[in-house]
Amino acid sequence: MIEAGRTTYSGTIVDRMTLTGSLSASENWQNENTLMLPAQFLSRSSRLSNERGIGMRYRLMSLWPINKENGPGSKVIETGFKKIVEHPDQPFSWVVQSGGRWYFQAIYPDLAVNDSCVNCHNGHPDSPRRDFKRGDVMGGILINLPLGLHRMASPPEKPLLAPEVVTDYIHSVIESDRTIYSRDIVDRLQEKNVMKSSEHWSVENSLPLPAQFLLSVSRLIHKQRKDLDFRLTSLWPIDPRNGPANEFERLGLESVAMHPIRPYIGQTRLGGKHFFQAIYPDLAVAPSCANCHNNHPRSPRRDFALGDVMGGIVVTIRTD
């Protein structure tokens, strides 16, 4: 999910805008009215997710960081990073004890998925390495999951996490990516009359709406994974296809509209396989979210305010 969000931002936003000459990305994006770099997008999203205090933490790191704060930080992490450089198709994972608790940690390769990644690192004056090529391992995504087994002398052989905890982690990444995109990309650039967002963004060479950005991430996940999916849905959809698909979604949307601090959860069976589903409130995290729905000619509701529940995010994971 982390990789899908960053890949979508890199390709759909940064590379497309750069190639058309419409808008560039730069390190000093706040002062230069540009797009933030893909690595900055991931870093800001991870900080937002980590600040929620849900247990899971993740961050971007590298053996060749431009920002020294993104270095490994420990010998174990450095060893793990060297392993994924040698075998980028295999994440490196281990269990560690810290502060009296056991944690599962994993490093996934951070690949140069497009030209903007390569050009930035190879051309940056503070970069300790300048020979990256597209597809190279440029860094790693370090993920830290608490197991909560602080009273055990050793961790279990096969630690398990409850499905509702897993969907909380997944939703935190989705929500953080969408918040950063809505607030720091769309709203900021629209307020400064630099670039607008529109429903027909591919034709008008503009920024996708926040909901469309999430839709692109969802499509990428759907292509890559068969055990994980998410979709946007609403009781007041602009596109009728985004309405509740079944009774579970309808009840879930009604529940999160009344109780937005709790997801609506359930289990289902499809094709002989078991799935766990959680519906989270889809909030108007930025003015652009509420304004789009309030002003759209096909919107069935036009009184949304900042922070309102506009719909739901349905997260589906396979369980065995």
Boundaries of every domain in the chain? 2-163, 176-319
Average pLDDT over residues 99-106: 87
Q: Work out the pLDDT band at 259, boundaries 50, 70, 90.
A: very high
Q: In the predicted model, is pLDDT for residue 56 greater than 90?
A: yes
Please write down the HEC assignment for all residues of the chain.
CHHHHHHHHHHHHHHHHHHCCCCCECCCHHHHCCECCHHHHHHHHHHHHHCCCCCCEEEEECCCCCCHHHCCCCHHHHHHHHHHHHCCCCCEEEEEEECCEEEEEEEEEEECCCHHHHHHHHHCCCCCCCCCCCCCEEEEEEEEEECCCCCCCCCCCCCCCCHHHHHHHHHHHHHHHHHHHHHHHHHHHHHCCCCCEECCHHHHCCEECHHHHHHHHHHHHHHHCCCEEEEEECCCCCCHHHCCCCHHHHHHHHHHHHCCCCCEEEEEEECCEEEEEEEEEEECCCHHHHHHHHHCCCCCCCCCCCCCEEEEEEEEEEEC
The whole-number pLDDT of residue 69 equals 86
The whole-number pLDDT of residue 149 equals 63
pTM here is 0.91
pLDDT tens by residue, 210-249: 999 999 999 999 888 889 999 999 999 998 999 999 999 9
The whole-number pLDDT of residue 36 equals 94
pLDDT tens by residue, 157-200: 777 889 999 999 999 999 999 999 999 999 999 999 999 999 99
pLDDT tens by residue, 306-316: 999 999 999 99
| Domain over 176-319 is classified CATH 3.40.50 | no
